[in-house]
Amino acid sequence: MKKYAGFILIALLSSTFTLLGLKYLQKSDTTDKQIVINHLKNNDTLTQNLQNVNYTNNQASNDSKIPDFREVVKKTKNAVVHVRNTRYIQQYQPYYFGYREGPIYKQEGTGSGVIISPDGYIVTNNHVIKGANEIEVTLDNKQTYKAEVIGTDPNSDIAVIKINAQNLPYLTFGDSDAVELGQWVLAIGNPYNLGTTVTSGIVSAKSRDLKGNKHIDNFIQTDAVVNPGNSGGALVNTDGQLIGINTMIFSMNGSYIGYSFAIPSNVVRKVADDILEFGSTQKGVLGIKAAELNGEIAKKLHIPQTEGVYIYEIEKGTGADKAGLEVGDIIIRINNIKVSSMADLLGYLKTKRPGDEIDVTIIRNGHKRHFKVKLNKNNAAYLKTLGLSIKNIDRNILKQYGVNNGVYIDRVNNRMLYQNGIRPGYVITEFNDLPIYSVDDLIDLLNNQAQKAYTIAVVSPEGRVEKYIFQ
């Protein structure tokens, strides 16, 4: 019994010392922690970062950082419409030594549009309504109207149509030059005939020049989802302002894969205003021939500047010539817009008209200089495709030819045309049965010519009307 009592005593003593040791260590650990906390509290720099966390309010705090587009959508979606175009195509069938009329087929295409005035003017893409025999517009409230074409500009892919309605919801234009990378945007349209659809994204790039696209070189690029049927629809900012017309996507299969492209609102507004006021687009010409700088070109030119537009030719008598711009000047800014590329320059010029004065900042011999340049109208051009030099002609002279529209042929380098009797002094009045009013009209039609065959209507100085068909 005494033997077991000794073991019990040893066990009790061991337990007591263990408990005392643990208590001491816990107390020591608590003391050390308190010392550290006191040190942190007394350190001004660190205590500024200490925050009390209230978990009951944490969800509300996170929600406030998530964009909420509900009010923007309510403000804008009613001004975006569904556009349906209908074409009637008649086929011709071989019949002995000729052709006879075949059946008529109906083709339909769809897209979107944006109401820009309460009395029914709508902007859309030209390719949405191109070749249409009938155009039908459906509002967000399902009301349907017949639309008429007011005017088109194939070069910028913008068209203005109108419906007979009043007091319509409409969008106001925002300033696309003020758009910044990373800002939130909404794309509103009617993809796949689903009805009004809203997607969101950010601005991924500005002044995007898509290689292979001949006409539009200053797209706004976004990652908002856009699909077939969105063409002509609205790209809006979080204030509900129109900052672009959705036009294109990059795709291998015809559907969205990551990037979409919109025509900037400043270009859209200018083209629409020109169509409504003049019937066609008025283009201001700077009067230079230039190239976009990069590292390789800068090295060849022995200049340090790798951004901007390098002038290699000045056209005599133009605004650039009269203002004092010279070959070798590097354009780096127009008004308040930075010019890093040709897309920046051409995109801004598309928002201006003949007669507008712009401030051009250039670098000459390493020094910045500023010039006021008055933009001219594009009065003359050489058409390599046709082998013709043409220029605009006064209306009074046109009357002497017995016509109301046309451009003057100044030089003929096309052997076929020359052999057929066309000489300098003739006036081109039509191209592919479409009237020609200016040099720009003919340039735009040639740029959009998809087929090799074309027709030209001309008038001789004696007033003789001739038409030529080229295969």
Catalytic residues: 127, 157, 231
Instruction: State the residue for tokens 């007669």.
Output: 355
Burial class (CB in 10 A: 0-12, 13-18, 19+), 307: middle
Give the Cα separation of 429 and 408 in Å (integer): 9
Q: Taking the mean position of all CA atoms in its chain, how far away is CA 48?
A: 46
**Pairing of the two strands 380-383 and 388-392:** antiparallel
Give the Cα separation of 108 and 468 in Å (integer): 32
Burial class (CB in 10 A: 0-12, 13-18, 19+), 3: exposed
Q: What's the alpha-carbon Rg for the chain, to the nearest Å?
A: 34
Our separate counts of H helices and E strands in the chain read: 12, 27
Q: Taking the mean position of all CA atoms in its chain, how far away is CA 133?
A: 27
**E strands in 190-273:** 197-208, 219-222, 234-236, 242-249, 260-264
Instruction: State the residue for tokens 């209230």.
Output: 54
Task: Please give the helix or strand (H or E) that residue 374 lies within, else none.
Answer: strand 367-374
Nearest to 187 by CA among 231, 156, 218: 231
Residues in the chain: 471
Give the Cα separation of 375 and 352 in Å (integer): 8
